Homo-oligomer: A and B are copies of this chain.
Amino acid sequence: MTDDRRAAGTPTLEDVARAAGVSRATVSRVINGVRNVDPVIQEAVRQAVSITGYTPNRAARSLVTRRADAVALVVSGAGIEPEAAEQAEGTGASGDGSSFTAQVFADPFFGRVVTGVVNYLRPRGMHPVLMFAESSRAREEVVAYLRQGSADGALIVSTHAEDPLPALIAEAGLAAVLFARPARPVPVSYVDLAHQDGARLAAEHLLGRGCRRTATISGPLDVPAGQARLTGFRDTMARHGHPYIPVVEGQFTQESGEAAMERLLAEHPDLDGVFAANDLMALGACHVLREHGRSVPGDVAVVGFDDSSAALACRPPLTTVRQPVEGMAAEMTRLLLDRLARPDGPVTSVIFEPELVVRGSA
């Protein structure tokens, strides 16, 4: 009992080595699956590992490998407000629907991104660190976090165009991949959707079912995706003989969709089709239409965009343009891991094709 069995502190490589009667180096090799280890010794080491209940210390390993084996998943917001973020503490002031994080997660979109990222990361033994970057201070923190080596790279999802984060990251020489093409070119890989094609699909569907007086509720026009969906819809309509399409700008929220629909209905009471740039707004539009006595799709056909959970929360369920968010998020993750493995690899972009999902609303 007086032997050197040290304090119960978690066992280290040293302990395992002693138990197995080999050197630390050998244990390390076995654990990391490096070849050139005598099978007999390998077995002995494994025994020792399970007897001692050894678990490698991540910090020690990271210190020498210079890899954190973690990636940051950052939701990056507007670039405007300088220091707006300092949300009141946690406990009391929560539930505050106006906080950036709360707003972000109110949109089913982000849950899908998380799903895709996690599904790709997990089989590889990695997990995302969730960060938000809606103020310049928060952005600095993200950069610092990466520079500290707390994460090997970043998956960035911007909610607004002109997001300065991608550029900051690129300048700092840090690894990152974006969800959606940045407003101004930055040497960083990204995944994106062929938004215009999606909008074209919606337009053609509306046209195909006979709508002749369609309008659209666009997304925020300072967001590339919002812009592209509008352009795609307008262009297609124009090409089919409808050069003028009423449009009201929304903010991708249900509420803004309701407001937009009210205006559209007031100004164009005879419309027979609506394309909303996302499902949340389409849902809002449906509510307003019904309140005004218009049946969907009988009087007015409605097409959404995204195929998010909101599409099924709607009655009738929304006909919508599917954006394969989970797949895109997984691909984004794959690109990042690739980049980490080959830092000099090329900057690439992967564009996904949308798909029309026909349900009840149009």
Contacts and interface: CB of A to CB of B under 8 A. Distances in A.
Given A55-B147, A86-B123, A106-B108, A115 B128 contact: no
Nearest to A125: B141
Nearest to A131: B127
Nearest to A8: B173
A63 B128 CA distance: 21
Nearest to A148: B58
Contact of A315 (B70, B101, B105, B287): B287
Contacts of A130: 73, 114, 118, 127-130
A150 B318 CA distance: 43
What is the interface of chain A mostly: helix, strand, loop, or mixed? helix
Given A115-B94, A326-B94, A58 B99 contact: no
Interface residues of A, number: 76
A112 interface: yes
A144 B57 CA distance: 10
Contacts of A62: 58-59, 62
A90 B70 contact: no
A111 B110 contact: yes
Interface string A85-117: 011011111111001011011101011101110
